[in-house]
Structure 1
Amino acid sequence: MFLARLDTRSRISALRLLLAQKCKVGRVTSSPCAVGCTCSPGSIMAVTGDYDHLVKLLLLGDSAVGKSSLLMRFCESKFDANFVLTIGVDFKWKQVERDSRKLKIQVWDTAGQERFRTITPAYYRAAMGVVICYDITDKASFEHIDYWLQQLEQHGDEGVQRVLVGNKSDLNENRKVTREEGEKLAAQYSMKFFETSAKTGQEVEEAFLSIADEVVKQRYSDVQPNTFQVKKPNQKKKQNCQC
């Protein structure tokens, strides 16, 4: 509780000390890391190897567009109306099966505030796919998509998969960005487009699985999923067999 009495800089420093003791490479749980975590996006490994492919996704977009809520909805099928500001970077895991392939989907959630933007370049480089988000009730967040695409082009891997998501579709009465505007921008940058609601779950899983499928197609198309064939023991032919 003492963190509540500290200013932002002191609170971040305290969080770093606490989290540095908890975050160990190779010891990943369902709990998210945050700023100060010693784990790098390129070195984190899963607890178990019971999957065929690892898919690393990154959430980008302005603060308060609902990135953390999308992450929670996709990975935990939950929604929390109490907004909690992301400090630095968080992540969660989800394991799914797609076309007989077991995927371990690692989703990184980045803070949209300007003061945290120096933290994220390493996460751009490690991402295989990027979910770029805006709030359909906030025109400015839509207009800033160009900025996030520029940052991705500058820091990200060449050919990284991208998808555009207009979040908070449940607030249609407060809409400031039309669906047609979102579709037009997505087409301009050759991205798939989804309108989602982290609150209701609308199109959330479809958006994440769509880009996960594209990552697998791009990076693992020549890799066969793990298959185990149990050989039946040879049966001895009976003597005097008339076969």
Structure 2
Amino acid sequence: MLPDRIPSILLVQVITAGVSLALTSIQDQCENLQNTSNITGLACNISTDMIGTCWPRTPAGQLVARPCPEYFQGVQYNTTGNVYRECHLNGSWAERGDYTQCQEILKQEKKSKVHYHIAIVINFLGHSISLCALLMAFTLFLRLRSIRCLRNIIHWNLITAFILRNITWFVMQLTLNHEAHDSNVVWCRLVTIAHNYFYVTNFFWMFGEGCYLHTAIVLTYSTDKLRKWMFICIGWCESWWRVRNDKKNNKKGFFPIGQ
């Protein structure tokens, strides 16, 4: 059983040796401070606290300031602040120093400009591919008159809504900026209203798709009663009513730039 304990014993010895080496280094620095001090009379002797701060020999009754430690337990601290410790009148140090000014440095994660530009390129590339595919589908529905029925007309309008939404997205990204958004100019509001309108129409035309599918499955023989104008009212008119109400409640160009 003894050989199994040898690695653990060696690990403890290594850790102990490392701690002893660190304390020895701090103690050496304190001894250097002691050699340079010429203080006579009652004084607090040179000391090292549990944090590792070295306190030089100090006359009794004085408050000593030392720089904050740069690192402690792997955490980096701001060294512009000071640690304070009092040397009592009887020549003894206060039990603890005042480390309230030592604030840890929080490493704020900043967005890399390279990653930001890559995200913009991917965003534009995705919208471009989507727009090309939608235009191809739109052309097929336009040319193939033989497949026109209520179901495919609903598909066609949904594709049209997606196309218009993508186009207004490109216009908004290429023309709008924070200055135009804050100044609330007329064309800024028109662009954002158009984008929001076509954005909402996507969902209402998908709702129309669902209504038609539900009717075709549940009420099989009732699809003949459905009319095109019903879905046009749901897809285009209802969307405009929603966006118009939103415009009344928001007096600025109510779209965050960059989204």
Instruction: Name the TM tier (shorter chain).
Output: under 0.3
Normalized per residue, which structure has more strand? 1
Q: Which of the pair has the greater relative contact order for Cα pairs under 8 Å at 6+ separation? A: 1
Normalized per residue, which structure has more helix? 2
Between structure 1 and structure 2, the one with the greater Rg is 2
Q: TM-score, normalised by structure 1?
A: 0.23
